[in-house]
Structure 1
Amino acid sequence: MINHRVDLASAVDRVGATYDTERAQGELNAWGNSFPAEELPFGGQVNVGGVFYALVEKAPQQPDHLEALGQMIACGPPSRPVDALALLATGELGPQKLSIRVHLAGGDVATVPVAVPGWLVRPDAPVTADQLRCSHLHYPGGYELARLLPVLWSRVLPLPGLPITALELLVNPLVHVFAISLLAEVEP
């Protein structure tokens, strides 16, 4: 499987992860909660459920992900057919639905729906291969509660094996996207 990690650096617009010294900057929900930035490999790669994702570089108090607000994300010139689209994302206020318009070489457009689970789980919930779970949740007041843990979810959406030029995330501001990868079968 060939894994092309889509560069989201020019599209990120929200602070979803904070370092210990900047917890009050969190924007993942209306209460200012956030992921612990020290536990996510910003500027590097992470394997979640067998899919490699690249997270953007993160400086303190700088955006690290995007809310789905209708962004058009270029995927570069189509070099090979794409067999699946993979998102590393999470839903605010519980599970969320997102529609993605996949722009294909030649001008066709296909809309693909995805269900994104909520970003908080109880510590005793089973850990599954499709989640990147952090050890604690950042509260803007600097305190700790061990009742909920933040999770990023890997979601893999099959595609028809056609070259992709761009992805358009339709509007749902309760879906937070941290990384996107395009998957293609290895040619024999």
Structure 2
Amino acid sequence: MTRFAPIDLRPIRNARAATWDFERAAGAVNAWGNSFPAEDMPYGRPLWVGDLRFEIAQPDAAGIDHVELRDQSLRLPHMTATGIALLCFAEMGPRRFTVRIDGDGETRTLDLIAPGWMIAGQALPEERRFVATHLHYPGDDPAGYELRQLLPTAWAIARHVAPIRARQLYISGSPLVHILAISMLREIEDA
């Protein structure tokens, strides 16, 4: 049975993906100021996307809630990892990035593709993606407006690896790729 170990991304978070209704003009996912609606985000609660479990931590006081890829590394809790799951999206179409799991002299490197973050219409139930109800789009009105023709979407990507005693996670630089959450697929070590 696959077990999930949500990883705390707060030490490396550096960007804002979601805005509340009253602050839509603060959107910063792309150059047009678009954002996910924060009202849709399951901050601080388990989120199942297909058969994968994630947790997105509460944003900080400035609204920083995710990782924009800029060559970050993060210490992992000691565990035997058998894979990784990422909840991510890319601006301007699909984008490549690399994750590397290091531990005890071993490395597992995965080349991944984050799909684009805008879709037309609702997700199919069997697809591994989190789809918001609308797009926050700043307009002439200080409150901005909603756009329902394109829906912001985060995709769940999972890859299995040969078991590794994971200690460190490295994420390559690819600034148009955004990660909302990471869960390690794992076996719990006995204490």
User: What TM-score does the superposition give when structure 2 sets the normalisation length?
Assistant: 0.90
Distance 1:62-1:124 versus aligned 2 partners, 3 A rule = closer
Q: State how far apart, in whole Å, the 1-side matches of 2:164 and 2:135 are.
A: 39
CA distance in 1, matches of 2:70, 2:53: 24
On the 8 A contact 1:91/1:175 being kept in 2, the answer is: yes
Cα drift, residue 109 of structure 1: 2.4
Matching of residues 17-28 of structure 1 within 5 Å: 17-28=18-29
State the identity %.
35
1:3 counterpart residue number: 4
- Give the unaligned 5+ runs of structure 2: none
The corresponding residue for 1:29 is: 30
State the one-letter code of the partner of 1:135: T
For 1:130, which of 128, 131, 142 is the aligned residue? 128
Q: CA deviation at 1:161?
A: 1.2
Residues 6 and 124 of structure 1, relative CA distance in 2, 3 Å threshold: closer
Instruction: Please identify runs of 4+ aligned residues in structure 1 that moved more than 6 A.
Output: none
What residue is the counterpart of 1:84 in the other structure? 83
Check whether the contact 2:108–2:161 (CA below 8 A) recurs between aligned residues: no
Superposition CA RMSD, Å = 1.8
Write out per-residue CA displacement over residues 138-159 of structure 1, whole angstroms, 9 at most, x where no aligned residue: 0022122322001111000111
- Structure 2: distance between partners of 1:45 and 1:174: 26
Query: Relative to structure 1, is the Cα distance of residues 174 and 153 closer, same or farther in structure 2, using a 3 angstrom cutoff?
Result: same
Deviation at 1:164, TM superposition (A): 0.8
Is the CA contact 2:106–2:164 (under 8 Å) kept in the aligned structure 1?
no
| Aligned-pair CA distance for 1:124 | 5.8
Is 2:186 aligned against 1:184? Answer: yes
**Structure 2 match to 1:149:** 151
| Aligned residue pair count | 184
Partner SS state of residue 25, structure 2: helix
More strand by share: 2
